[in-house]
Amino acid sequence: MTRSGGRRTSAPSAGAYPGCVLQSLRAWMHRHPWQADGVLAVMLFALSAHQVPAGTVNVRFTAIAVSALLAATVIPRRRCPVAAFAAAVAIGAAQVAFGLQAGSSAPAVALQPSATDLAIVVLLYTLAAHRPRRVSIAGLMVCLLGSAVAIARWSPAHAAHPGAPLFGAVVGLGGSALAAWVLGDSVAYRYRRAYYASLEDRAARLEAERDAQARIAAAAERTRELQEQRARAVDESAARLRRIERDLHDGAQVRLTALAMTIGEIKENLEAGAGREDDGGRTRLLAGAAHRSAKETLAELRDLARGIHPPVLDRGLGAALSNLAEASATPAGLTVRIGARPSPAIEAIAYFCAAELLANVAKHSGAGHATVSVSDAGGGLLMTVADDGAGGARLGPGGGLAGLRERVQTVDGRLGIESPPGGPTIITIRLPGHA
């Protein structure tokens, strides 16, 4: 029986182990660059341990110190590669100048080049990997030049066997400098690519952030606009209610009070006159006045109701606009091309807009003709009122056009005015289909 579940242990697969060690080593070196370079310095120093020249204690000590100094230049190589390289090259140059002397003069033994000079190659690699190409190419040139001078100074001393050693020296020194530079440069190339990729990522992220911020700002702006519109709509409806209350109070209510008093007087007269002669037709006069007053009150109430909801709209926007166009003081043509009927609120707004705009044409434009056209547009309504008058229509505070704009904005609509001096005037109103 096989058991499933429980704790799973991963068995090391063949071949995974060295890769794993290398990976851990690389990770450790990335996390501890100073320590890693310290180890490298120790290794470079150890390479020349067997090359300590024979001689006095002073000579031996100086040779060891020079090697240690040279090896130590790799420790700060990541933080300041140029300075580290310059220091190593200076030591190398001193070795070429004083440790390799041509002719019969005795060389400065303590300054003999050693395996630790590999530090210069390591630093050239670092330069190529972490600094711009012009800097690393300059470093490569210095190394190649130094190698040439070293070979030139060294070869006469080995004139007895010029061939193979000379070739080996040229290939070894020049080749290792070139190889270090190429390796470093390819690492730099990878860094650069990764860097550009990260820049592109960042740019894309910034763009997305900017888009998001723009959307948030637009949403905030829209919210503010809607709040203002709502506040205006509330104010407007409160003002309208106050006006209706005033109209009822000062108009219909006053008339109804008078009517009640007149009817009361008629009643008194009728009661008092029961069985006696009519008082000269006074009761008839009172009844006539009451009748007139009742009719006037009715007319007033009808007008008031029409201001709230024009009854003609019950027959549709086309019929209502047709009524307006017929009643217009300036002859007006009407075109209505709408499919589905807009909501009652939208119809009412369109109606009041057309009424005010036709009134404006008659009052201000001096036009001989006006046109009203309504059509469907993008799921909403597009209405234009145009005239061939003098132009000059403008939004003024508290004016009818300003009131229209606010009314239109309460349902997210737009009002556009084109009215250059000399005319013509075209007022465009866009409304949604529903509110």
Ligand X SMILES: Nc1ncnc2c1ncn2[C@@H]1O[C@H](COP(=O)(O)OP(=O)(O)OP(=O)(O)O)[C@@H](O)[C@H]1O
- Interface positions with Mg ion (CB under 5 A): 360, 400
Q: Nearer Cβ to ligand X, position 376 or 418?
A: 418
Nearest residue to Mg ion, by Cβ distance, number only? 400
Residue 139 contact partner, candidates Mg ion, ligand X, none, CB within 5 to 8 A by sort of partner: none
Tell which one of 185, 313, 387, 410 touches ligand X (CB under 6 A): 387
Nearest residue to 381 via CA among 317, 344, 426, 429: 429
298 contact partners, CB below 8 Å, separation of at least 6? none
Min CB(370)–ligand X separation in Å: 8
Residue 291 contact partner, candidates Mg ion, ligand X, none, CB within 5 to 8 A by sort of partner: none
Q: Nearer Cβ to ligand X, position 187 or 402?
A: 402
Alpha helices (H) along 248-316: 253-272, 282-308
Using the rule CB under 6 A, is 389 a contact of ligand X? Answer: yes
Tell which one of 202, 302, 394, 434 touches ligand X (CB under 6 A): 394
Q: ∠ at Cα 53 (48, 57), nearest 5°?
A: 115
Nearest residue to 184 via CA among 137, 109, 230, 129: 129
Q: Which stretch binds ligand X (CB under 6 A): 58-66, 92-100, 208-216, 395-403?
A: 395-403
Q: Are strands 370-377 and 380-387 parallel, antiparallel or unpaired?
A: antiparallel
**Total of residues contacting ligand X (CB under 6 A):** 18
Q: Nearer Cβ to ligand X, position 96 or 386?
A: 386
AA identity, residue 400: G
Residue 392 contact partner, candidates Mg ion, ligand X, none, CB within 5 to 8 A by sort of partner: ligand X
Residue with tokens 């690492």: 187
Residue 393 contact partner, candidates Mg ion, ligand X, none, CB within 5 to 8 A by sort of partner: ligand X
Residue 379 contact partner, candidates Mg ion, ligand X, none, CB within 5 to 8 A by sort of partner: none
Min CB(359)–ligand X separation in Å: 7
Using the rule CB under 6 A, is 405 a contact of ligand X? Answer: no
Min CB(360)–ligand X separation in Å: 3
Q: List, edge to edge, every strand of the sheet that includes 332-337.
A: 332-337, 370-377, 380-387, 425-432, 414-418
Number of helices (H), then strands (E), belonging to the chain: the values are 12, 5
User: Cβ distance 300 to 255 under 8 Å?
Assistant: yes
241, burial (CB in 10 Å: exposed 0-12, middle 13-18, buried 19+): exposed
Tell which one of 401, 408, 415, 431 touches ligand X (CB under 6 A): 401
Using the rule CB under 6 A, is 37 a contact of ligand X? Answer: no
Min CB(430)–Mg ion separation in Å: 20
Residue 310 contact partner, candidates Mg ion, ligand X, none, CB within 5 to 8 A by sort of partner: none
Q: Which two tokens stand for residue 72?
A: 């130590």
413 contact partners, CB below 8 Å, separation of at least 6? 349, 380, 429, 430, 431, 432
Using the rule CB under 6 A, is 384 a contact of ligand X? Answer: no
Residue 153 contact partner, candidates ligand X, Mg ion, none, CB within 5 to 8 A by sort of partner: none
Interaction residues for ligand X, span 358-377 (CB under 6 A)? 360-361, 363-365
Tell which one of 67, 151, 425, 431 touches ligand X (CB under 6 A): 425
Query: Would you tell me the crossing angle of helices 33-47 and 118-130 to the nearest 10 degrees?
Result: 150
Q: Nearer Cβ to ligand X, position 177 or 404?
A: 404
Q: ∠ at Cα 32 (67, 20), nearest 5°?
A: 105
Residue 48 contact partner, candidates ligand X, Mg ion, none, CB within 5 to 8 A by sort of partner: none
Residue 190 contact partner, candidates Mg ion, ligand X, none, CB within 5 to 8 A by sort of partner: none
AA identity, residue 126: T
- Give 3-state DSSP helix, strand, coil % of the chain, rounded to 5: 70, 10, 25
Contacting positions for ligand X (CB under 6 A) = 360-361, 363-365, 387, 389-394, 396, 399-402, 425
